Amino acid sequence: MVYYKCMKNKKFVICYNNQIQNSVAVKDLLAAILLEYSISADIVDIDNLKNGYEFAFIIGGDGTILKAARFFAKTETAIFGVNLGRLGFLSQSSKEHIRESVEKILNNHFHIEERIMLECDNAIALNDFVIKGNSHGRTAKLSLKINGKAVCDYLADGLIISTPTGSTAYGLSAGGPVLAPNLGAFVIVPICPHTLTARPLVIPDNEIITVSMEDSEDGFVVSTDGQNFFNYKSDIIIKKSSYKAKLALLDDSDFYSILRDKLHWGTSPANI
């Protein structure tokens, strides 16, 4: 956990998603609030990100934050999410609480939490890599190795390789466990496996994951956080990235509260 000091001397940027309703109005409001504190922030669209900042406000949904996180991880820029999407699991604020959030940040009532990321060739992911066969509508025969040793074979729609941050995303929907975000671990979750013995697997984050496909000339499709897609003909090797996402979190927030508030964790169905 890292704390920043002298926030008013930092170089800020506001990143917004023009495809999301109200994002333009919210970024204008945020810029005006910062100006009240004599802070002039640059403003960029999520599709035209650039370097040179120490703190970034990200306006949009979780997809917007994931894209920004992959970009800014390479320059160790802290990001703070303002949710305009549906779930907003990675966000810390909403449009109704922007002023309050800015005041907390400028008064150092927040901390930076570093989140581990995944790497496959030159691609990185904060949530997950998803591996599927290129033959649409058919299950794939996938072989999993860890540190070069055979672990198991899957007949499934695909595999999800997830970070703790991503364990509340696609992996959770596919039946995987929820991991606390500060754990040094990855989750391997089969998607619709055609066997009763295939179960999610939690492994240390220093291990090397290799996935190969049997009897397929079509190869793989690999997605990065569900946003970027790549075709592979050979084995896929996934490991922990040297980059880490830096999420700015308000001091009065915690992971378990987010689970309760946004995923209704442990809530009786009658109360949802």
Please count the other Cβ atoms lying within 10 Å of the Cβ belonging to residue 157.
19
Question: Across the chain, how many H-helices and E-strands are there?
Answer: 5, 17
Set 42, 62, 205, 215: catalytic member: 62
Helix ranges (H only) for the chain are 23-36, 62-72, 98-106, 170-173, 255-263
Instruction: Give the torsion sign (CA, 171, 161, 165, 183).
Output: positive
Q: Answer yes or no: 215 catalytic.
A: no
3-state secondary structure of 132: strand
Tokens of 89: 């699991």
CA 99-67-20 angle, 5° bins: 55
Contact between 2 and 182 under an 8 Å Cβ cutoff? The reply is no
- Chain CA centroid to CA 76, Å: 15
Give the burial class of 36: count Cβ atoms within 10 A of its Cβ; 0-12 exposed, 13-18 middle, 19 or more buried. exposed
Q: How many CB atoms lie within 10 A of CB 75?
A: 14
Q: Which residue has the tokens 């996180």?
A: 69
CB 41 within 8 A of CB 13: yes
Q: Would you please indicate which residues are annotated as catalytic (active-site) residues?
A: 62
